[in-house]
Amino acid sequence: MYKRILDKLICPNTGVGDLKIYSVELSRQNKSERNLSGENIGSEDDIKAGILFTSDKKNVYVIHEYIPVLLNDADQDLPHLTSIATPLINQLPNDLADALQQTLNRVSAQHKSADGDWNREEMKYYDADVDTETQRHDMLKSIKTDNLWRLFIPRKQNMTKFLEKNCKGKWIFEIGCGNARTVSRIFNPAEYNYNYIGTDISFKRLMVAKMAIPGSDFIQASALNIPVKNNFFDAAISFGMLHHLPRPTDAFSEVDKKLKQDGIFTLHEPVYTTRQFSEKQTAMVRKLFRTYEHSDHDNKINLKETIDALNKLNYKIVTIVPYNSLFRVVYEAVMNRIYKPWHKNKGIMKTVLFLDNILLNTVVKLSNKLGPQAIVITSAKK
């Protein structure tokens, strides 16, 4: 993590800011420096290994491979935390080593909770296919080359294009960024000159994200407990992650706290509308026609609840665009079985989107059943 974000962070257990830092290894202008305490670390130094800690040293958080693990005790993944903290203990000054050991002892005594278990299942699922360095490099390669027009076109047209207009020097964060494939391809911070922080519950996906956008910061954090000061960010982005949460609308109030007065929140999610099939029928359709892999907590958000939550928090909907009729879902599933690379062609995907848009506004509307399956919403605080 770059030292420049230190004063923006808060302790996820207490919510208190003013975290301290100690670096065991950092990168300074591509050179490695070892064992530096806070005042000797420059704002553009990128800390590879070290710790963050509260003034009283009661809460210590590990930085590993440039990524701070800023989870509260209940969300910590104890085996992972132990595996990265243990080698650090031998390299820290004695008082900090003791403090880290005490945090570890406390976490191992009390890291159980229903939400924590849910989050750990997500970590496990999303960590699994990037567990090794080779897997992470393979994923990085696919991020750089795969043209996911199915996702990129709607996200560009109705989300990032809106943010691009006025983003120079602003602070934008993403919840559930995973490997940050969308931002790295269509809204790269280096190209658009804004400050980006990606957060996700899966540590190993974040390792890929850090390789994809090395000049930015990534924090292992839950979308339900974002360890950043309130009223700080100009905008928040979420691509297909809210539907992985036990209570998606809880994330809205958490994101809202972190956004400035005129903040923007933009999201792309699969949805239930009141007009659609029952949850059971939808689950069956998804099982039959699913076109990509998802964790067990893959659900859909409820459109009415989402709009109500945004209204309650005083957000004005800037755009709300429906995507994916059931026809398209079936078409894509069939095409994926016949000729997988079809979706890499931007022209074909644009045509599919265009035709589907006509369907969504005619047959689908009349049928009262067949869609939309997904929605893009961009909203701004009033």
Ligand X SMILES: C[S@@+](CC[C@H](N)C(=O)[O-])C[C@H]1O[C@@H](n2cnc3c(N)ncnc32)[C@H](O)[C@@H]1O
Can residue 171 be called a binding residue for ligand X (CB under 6 A)?
A: no
User: Measured from the CB atom, is 200 or 234 closer to ligand X?
Assistant: 200
Q: Give the whole-angstrom CA distance, residue 65 versus residue 101.
A: 20
- Give the residue with the Cβ less far from ligand X, 36 or 198: 198
222 binds ligand X (CB under 6 A): yes
Sole binder of ligand X in the list 13, 72, 76, 119 (CB under 6 A): 119
Closest CA to 255 of 218, 284, 226: 226
Based on the shown chain and the rule CB under 6 A, indicate whether residue 201 belongs to the binding site for ligand X.
yes
- Residue 211 CA to residue 219 CA, distance in Å, equals 14
CB of 66 to ligand X, least distance (A): 18
Q: Stretches 9-17, 51-59, 194-202, 227-235: which one binds ligand X (CB under 6 A)? A: 194-202
Asked whether position 205 contacts ligand X by CB under 6 A, the answer is yes
Question: Distance between CA 223 and CA 241 in Å, rounded?
Answer: 9
Cβ proximity to ligand X: between 49 and 143 the closer is 143
User: Three-state DSSP class for 357?
Assistant: helix
- The answer to whether 112 and 74 are in contact (CB under 8 A) is yes
Specify the DSSP class assigned to residue 159.
I
CB atoms within 10 A of CB 354: 10
d(CA 57, CA 53) in angstroms, rounded, equals: 6
- Subset of 283-322 contacting ligand X (CB under 6 A): 294
- Residue among 300, 262, 291, 66 at smallest CA distance from 170: 262
Which CB, 253 or 351, lies closer to ligand X? 253
Contacting range for ligand X; rule: CB under 6 A; set: 157-165, 186-194, 236-244, 271-279: 236-244
Say whether residue 6 binds ligand X (CB under 6 A).
no
Q: How far is the CB of 192 from ligand X (least distance, A)?
A: 18
Q: Report how many residues bind ligand X under the rule CB under 6 A.
A: 22
Catalogue the E-assigned strands of 54-133: 60-64, 67-68
Bridge pairing between strands 171-175 and 233-239: parallel
Determine how many CB atoms are found less than 10 A away from the CB of residue 71: 28
| Stretch binding ligand X (CB under 6 A), from 118-126, 278-286, 299-307, 329-337 | 118-126
> What is the contact surface with ligand X in residues (CB under 6 A)?
119, 122, 126, 175-178, 181-182, 200-202, 205, 222-224, 239-241, 244-245, 294
